[in-house]
């Protein structure tokens, strides 16, 4: 807190407070939850579940007590499950509980694809949806630059038959976190920037669309209470709408499979 | 069959080697270096950022983590390597490398260890960016700015120490808290050594041009009932306190460095308290670097402001100069 306060001259945030007691958080519009244990080298996000559920049982009720009207943004991994857990523990309506989800995966995808095409990431459009993790789904059918659909130029894109090996880019996205963790011990900069990007849409009421983790029951044949990333319109109420993305049969099947994996873990969680 | 890229995009210009126009290099990817990097990136000060360090894994990991944020940034090229060739053609090189203070350790203790590290770094910087401006952050910053100046052979306008830019920012923050105002509306200058013997210029402390010392003549003395002297004491102790609490400081120094880089990159001619060669000023006779208010522009440090100091303030500056020279004359460069 002190280190940030000492930079106040260079900032436009006049009040920076910190405490172990949650009273200091009272009246927050947005609460970002990053607490919990993180992946060790080689460990998958799903391994962290039970440890983090126990931590959230302590955190979430206190947040809601002091900021009953807030929007909760969950970052802790495995984010889709932890967003579900947060929703259950908070009692907040589902549009006010959002997981950072695939906002970062999509950002990494856009960065890597743009590098290959020698354009800026903001000029390459591509969405990664579903689970933030090993089974995320790259929607190749939507990948485009200036509206020119890449799959139309190369129908094999994203398949094993593709001579250009574009599928590798998605694999790099999935491996990204593991690789950075192996090199520097953790990741922080990119996730931090992606969370700030979401916060901007929420606080400035932008109604921009982001791939974030939201409650998807009833969509794409999913019948359980699971959180997965879909393109969501974010404004100052939280998730105001979800875009009905056109997915092919294979992409829908992958989403359903993620949903099943996540529900398999969630149904065993105690006392939510 | 043509690749997706070939089908999609037609390259229409003759290939030129694109020289970056405002490249910034950060040497050292520890907490301070990375805080400088993220501040420079989020303030959109450069079109190319280079990182250098000796620990290759950490360096690559940090570079990748920043690159993955590319969508949210306006700095399209981020590179990193152990080899200084990746720093070529930098406009500004920020040097944060070196040992840092342990809990309770003073900045002056770090000298010899950091001089040895600089003997490797500085010539490498100069080799690849002979026209750059070197901004030294590593501590003890005043001594190491002198060292960088000697080792680089650069003119004095192109070797600057981050110096008291942070001390003054901390002072203005604390002053703002006392007066319930934003720091940018509180004016006060801390000059001299970045460290235990920095000098708060009480005569200049003001809000909206109203001199606080005129309102409270005892300001800064032991007799002052409001104990403003404590504000400066807290500035001196700030780093030690944050180090004791979180192990190091990073955010505030990172932001203050980005503030300096901004003035240079945008040719602002803003006045900042940074460390420069003060021989011949305020009675200082030796080649020492101390912080005084300096004009920063795209040429670096082009002018200095001649402050009217009280005799005891000048005495303090001379005393700092003597302490620093005492250390510097023993250095083998």
Cα B44 from Cα A76, distance rounded (Å): 28
pLDDT of residue A50: 84
Length of chain A: 272
Q: Which of B68, B176, B182 sits opposite A107 (nearest CB)?
A: B68
Q: How far is CA A55 from CA A21, A86, A99, A120, in A?
A: 15, 11, 17, 39
Say yes or no for a CB contact (<8 Å) between B3 and A194: no
What are the structure tokens assigned to B262, written together?
């901004």
- Confirm if B97 and B134 have CB atoms less than 8 A apart: no
**A 12-71: CB under 8 A from B:** 14
pLDDT of residue A42: 79
pLDDT at A39 over 80: no
The average confidence (pLDDT) of chain B is 94
Q: Does A249 touch chain B (CB under 8 A)?
A: no
Q: Does B75 touch chain A (CB under 8 A)?
A: no
Q: Does A125 touch chain B (CB under 8 A)?
A: no
Cα B301 from Cα B133, distance rounded (Å): 9
Say yes or no for a CB contact (<8 Å) between B252 and A196: no
Look at residues A60, A58, A54, A80 and name the one whose alpha carbon lies nearest to residue A72: A60
Percentage of residues in chain A with pLDDT exceeding 90? 87
pLDDT of residue A272: 77
Q: Does A214 touch chain B (CB under 8 A)?
A: no
Cα A140 from Cα A117, distance rounded (Å): 15
- Confirm if B188 and B204 have CB atoms less than 8 A apart: yes
Place of tokens 């591509």: A126
Q: Which of B5, B182, B249 sits opposite A3 (nearest CB)?
A: B249
The average confidence (pLDDT) of chain A is 94
pLDDT of residue B32: 97
Chain B residue closest to A9 (CA)? B183
Residues of chain B with pLDDT under 70: 107
Say yes or no for a CB contact (<8 Å) between A185 and B61: yes
User: pTM of whole model > 0.90?
Assistant: yes
pLDDT of residue A133: 86
| Complex-level ipTM | 0.88
- Confirm if A63 and A207 have CB atoms less than 8 A apart: no
Chain B residue closest to A152 (CA)? B4
Distance from the A89 Cα atom to the nearest Cα atom in chain B, whole angstroms: 31
- For the packed helices B31-42 and B56-67, what is the interaxial angle rounded to 10 degrees? 20
Angle at A120 between CA B43 and CA A207, to 5 degrees: 70
Distance from the A184 Cα atom to the nearest Cα atom in chain B, whole angstroms: 4
Q: Does B58 touch chain A (CB under 8 A)?
A: yes
pLDDT of residue B213: 93
Q: What is the pLDDT of residues B183-232, one digit of tens each?
A: 999 999 999 999 888 999 999 999 999 999 999 999 999 999 999 999 99
Say yes or no for a CB contact (<8 Å) between B255 and A107: no
Residues of B in contact with A176 (CB under 8 A): 64, 68
Q: What is the pLDDT of residues A45-78, one digit of tens each?
A: 667 888 899 999 999 999 999 999 999 999 999 9
pLDDT at A163 over 90: yes
Residues of B in contact with A8 (CB under 8 A): 169, 173, 176, 182-183
Cα B161 from Cα B273, distance rounded (Å): 9
What are the structure tokens assigned to A118, written together?
């020698």
Distance from the B98 Cα atom to the nearest Cα atom in chain A, whole angstroms: 18
> Which residues of A are marked as active site?
132
**A 143-202: CB under 8 A from B:** 145, 148, 150, 153-154, 157, 163-164, 166, 176, 179-185, 187-190, 192-194, 196-197
**B 174-203: CB under 8 A from A:** 176, 182-184
């Amino acid at each position: 807190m002190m280190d940030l306060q000492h930079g106040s001259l260079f900032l436009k945030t006049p009040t920076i407070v910190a405490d172990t007691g949650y009273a200091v958080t009272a009246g927050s519009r947005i609460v970002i939850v990053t607490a919990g244990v993180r992946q060790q080298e080689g460990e998958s996000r799903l391994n962290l579940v039970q440890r983090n559920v126990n931590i959230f049982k302590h955190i979430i009720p206190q947040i809601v007590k002091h900021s009953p009207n807030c929007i909760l943004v969950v970052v802790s991994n495995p984010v889709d499950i932890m967003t579900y857990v947060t929703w259950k523990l908070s009692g907040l309506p589902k549009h006010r509980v959002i997981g950072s989800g695939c906002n970062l995966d999509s950002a990494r995808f856009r960065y890597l694809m743009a590098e290959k095409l020698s354009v800026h990431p903001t000029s390459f459009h591509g969405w990664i949806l579903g689970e933030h993790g090993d089974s995320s789904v790259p929607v190749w059918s939507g990948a485009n630059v200036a509206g020119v659909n890449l799959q139309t130029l190369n129908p094999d894109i994203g398949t094993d038959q593709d001579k250009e090996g574009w599928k590798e880019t998605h694999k790099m996205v999935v491996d990204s976190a593991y690789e950075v963790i192996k090199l520097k011990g953790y990741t922080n900069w990119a996730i931090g920037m992606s969370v700030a990007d979401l916060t901007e849409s929420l606080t400035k009421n932008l109604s921009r669309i982001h791939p974030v983790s939201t409650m998807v029951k009833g969509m794409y044949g999913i019948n359980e209470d699971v959180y997965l990333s879909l393109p969501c319109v974010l404004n100052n109420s939280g998730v105001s709408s979800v875009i009905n993305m056109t997915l092919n049969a294979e992409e829908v099947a992958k989403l359903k499979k993620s949903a099943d994996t996540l529900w398999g873990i969630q149904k065993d969680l105690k006392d939510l | 069959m043509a690749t997706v890229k070939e089908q999609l995009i037609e390259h229409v210009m003759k290939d030129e080697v694109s020289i970056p126009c405002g490249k910034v290099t950060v040497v050292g990817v520890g907490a301070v270096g990375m805080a400088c990097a993220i501040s420079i990136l989020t303030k959109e000060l450069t079109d190319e950022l280079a990182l250098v360090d000796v620990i290759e894994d950490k360096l690559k990991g940090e570079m990748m983590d920043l690159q993955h944020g590319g969508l949210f940034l306006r700095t399209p090229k981020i590179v990193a390597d152990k080899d200084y060739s990746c720093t070529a053609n930098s406009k500004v090189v920020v040097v944060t490398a070196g040992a840092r203070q342990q809990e309770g350790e003073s900045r002056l203790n770090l000298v010899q260890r950091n001089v040895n590290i600089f003997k490797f770094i500085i010539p490498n910087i100069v080799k690849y960016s002979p026209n750059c401006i070197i901004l030294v952050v590593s501590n003890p910053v005043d001594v190491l700015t002198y060292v960088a100046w000697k080792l680089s052979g650069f003119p004095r306008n192109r070797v600057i120490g981050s110096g008291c830019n942070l001390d003054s920012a901390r002072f203005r923050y604390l002053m703002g808290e006392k007066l319930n105002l934003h720091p940018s509306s509180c004016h006060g200058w801390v000059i001299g050594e970045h460290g235990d013997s920095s000098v708060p210029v009480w005569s200049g402390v003001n809000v909206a041009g109203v001199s606080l010392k005129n309102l409270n003549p005892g300001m800064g003395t032991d007799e002052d009932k409001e104990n403003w002297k404590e504000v400066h004491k807290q500035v001196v102790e700030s780093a030690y306190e944050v180090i004791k609490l979180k192990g190091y400081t990073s955010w505030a120094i990172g932001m203050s460095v980005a503030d300096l880089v901004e003035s240079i990159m945008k040719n602002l001619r803003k006045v900042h308290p940074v460390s420069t060669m003060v021989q011949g000023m305020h009675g200082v006779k030796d080649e020492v670097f101390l912080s005084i208010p300096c004009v920063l522009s795209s040429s670096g440090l082009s002018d200095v402001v001649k402050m009217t100091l009280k005799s005891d303030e000048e005495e303090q500056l001379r005393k700092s100069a003597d302490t620093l020279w005492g250390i510097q004359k023993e250095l083998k460069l």
